[in-house]
Structure 1
């Protein structure tokens, strides 16, 4: 592991993080949880102004375990072999924290190493022994993939570079290939500094950090931020950082195989007025066996596309639609208003169930 140097500007937050990690988790959802509740979703949430938490919810979207976060959280990564979930603080994040999702116990707090910060996402290797995280270099936003040993207190064991500026979500594909959404934006804090020259990409790495392929869009101001693995493609969720009076496609598809190497990304299909509903911003993306689902908290909506045809099938309103998680023929959408939509395909018919939760969900949901 590289030595962890903590400068004076970080001492206050380090002290707070350590106090937060020592605080006991609480289970406000247990009193009303059903007996058949199963840990199913993990997401970050807002408790009150400037107070944040991570929440493990059951299959009905109701909280089982809740634990405080000092900083606003963003994404999470699930390790089903160890029953771990890593929760990442929002960019520019100072830490990630690991919990046992069955007991709610806090297991490990890992601070960003010197001159690094977290972008809010990570993914475990297929054998669950390593955790890959998207990170940036302070002062330049140079993209870094941090590699952590999940079996040895999440010590940092390696760094991968050469992917560009501003990596965001990272997912695992077949054969331990890593796909990274590289947003292309250099920031100071959260303020963008290079929108005129930004260069986003979809980058593929081997498990040992070799760059396998890097794909760019014709419009360099379409920032690639989030990813989901479909049946035969990677689906990319974008945010428009250019002319906001235009409403370009915000979801793209790309196939990564030896036979398709060098192909361009292709936009999914929707009418211009439908893309306008998303307000130039996709917040989360997920895939079932048949569908691609993308949310827009700024547009207060989510869309469902067919993977087979690439066409938009449905565009639905949901106030502050934020996270989406999918498995098999089911998906669930969370919202900052506390509502959640549970959807499944039953005998070729889509069935929606809207539930109300006591949680103001924020950013992403992951499926356990």
Structure 2
């Protein structure tokens, strides 16, 4: 048995033995951590923390299926958000491996599964739906005041999903999906014919919308995104129109030139994505970005400066994507595997295979 086979066998045994609804903790560790929402083989919802080699740190049972996450800068805390239309946000102490706070959306509201902190780590910005009116908002929580909700900022549209902070430290970049939902109808899309998706630039201090960019078709739901240190935004779409159509699924905004474009891929590759991008990761150390397309079992790497295709890989049921500080990437799969993508975007290697099903996002905690 070689080293990788031994590692995978050991990890599978460790995880399978601990996924019984109880908290599992392998001890505190000061190294980098990957967090994600996962399900076990029986359908229980958990938050997993693993190291960069795929070794388990903790598994935390939660009452809702989670989605995206973010780290609280300069602290041991990370945040995992319930999947739309969920009503809980979980604050995780990554050092102790436990949940220290549960933020409820409140009556009449649900979360969309994403959030981001201010540079000083005090304020948490979360995408929220007021479902009686369908109004999308960014809600602000004060982490220094026990995560008290302090402000709601309307986005002027329906379905704000992922949001990230621009390198200027003041602009929130918001992917506005345009899809109206209601908890009584689970994840049913209530307005496919009247969708108005957009990429938004919001002032986090005033709540004012600085820019609003529309996709080339009103059913291209803008859902996930990332931003480079030099202010280039890469966004992923999910097309809600006829399945036989094939439309651009990657958007590009350069804040240095104030230019918004969509990136076309070779026709065969474009069709293979099946109109669905799940996760976006933008490298902090190179001009490369990566998107995952689980319906097509594809990972696509682009150069976000030139908008050129670099490579694509087949990963069955690919899920989350994460850019590491060294310029390389990690992607997960619903089959339980973790894969490392080299910093040049040309090589993929399986790191581990676990007895869990990864959700569509990975969160780094350094």
TM-score range, shorter chain: 0.7 to 0.9
Question: How far does residue 243 in structure 1 lie from its aligned partner after superposition?
Answer: 2.1
Deviations along 1:56-109, whole A, 9 cap, x unmatched?
A: 110112221110111111011111312111111110011101011121122111
Question: What residue in structure 1 maps to residue 322 of structure 2?
Answer: 325
Counterpart CA distance in 1 for 2:90 and 2:29 is 27
Q: Is the CA contact 1:235–1:251 (under 8 Å) kept in the aligned structure 2?
A: yes
- 1:179 counterpart (173, 176, 179): 173
Deviations along 1:161-209, whole A, 9 cap, x unmatched?
A: 0331000001011222100000001123311111111000111111121
Question: How far does residue 24 in structure 1 lie from its aligned partner after superposition?
Answer: 6.7
Question: What residue in structure 1 maps to residue 210 of structure 2?
Answer: 212
5+ residue gaps, structure 2:
1-20
- Structure 1 residue matching 2:193: 3-state secondary structure: coil
Counterpart CA distance in 2 for 1:80 and 1:126 is 7
Question: What residue in structure 2 maps to residue 13 of structure 1?
Answer: none
- Aligned CA distance change for structure 1 residues 306 and 162 (closer, same or farther; 3 Å): closer
How many residue pairs match? The answer is 335
Residue pairs, 1:277-288, within 5 angstroms: 277-288=272-283
Q: Is the CA contact 2:124–2:142 (under 8 Å) kept in the aligned structure 1?
A: yes
Q: Is the CA contact 2:328–2:345 (under 8 Å) kept in the aligned structure 1?
A: no
Q: Is the CA contact 2:29–2:95 (under 8 Å) kept in the aligned structure 1?
A: no
Question: What residue in structure 2 maps to residue 273 of structure 1?
Answer: 268
- Structure 1 residue matching 2:35: 3-state secondary structure: strand
- Aligned CA distance change for structure 1 residues 306 and 151 (closer, same or farther; 3 Å): same
- 1:356 counterpart (332, 352, 355): 352
**TM-score, normalisation: structure 2:** 0.87
Question: What residue in structure 1 maps to residue 248 of structure 2?
Answer: 249
Q: Is the CA contact 1:226–1:236 (under 8 Å) kept in the aligned structure 2?
A: yes
- 2:312 counterpart (300, 315, 324): 315
- Structure 2 residue matching 1:363: 3-state secondary structure: coil
Question: What residue in structure 2 maps to residue 9 of structure 1?
Answer: none
- Aligned CA distance change for structure 1 residues 277 and 349 (closer, same or farther; 3 Å): closer
Q: Is the CA contact 2:315–2:333 (under 8 Å) kept in the aligned structure 1?
A: yes
Q: Is the CA contact 2:167–2:231 (under 8 Å) kept in the aligned structure 1?
A: no
**TM-score, normalisation: structure 1:** 0.86
Counterpart CA distance in 1 for 2:313 and 2:56 is 25
- 1:91 counterpart (84, 90, 115): 84
Question: What residue in structure 1 maps to residue 14 of structure 2?
Answer: none
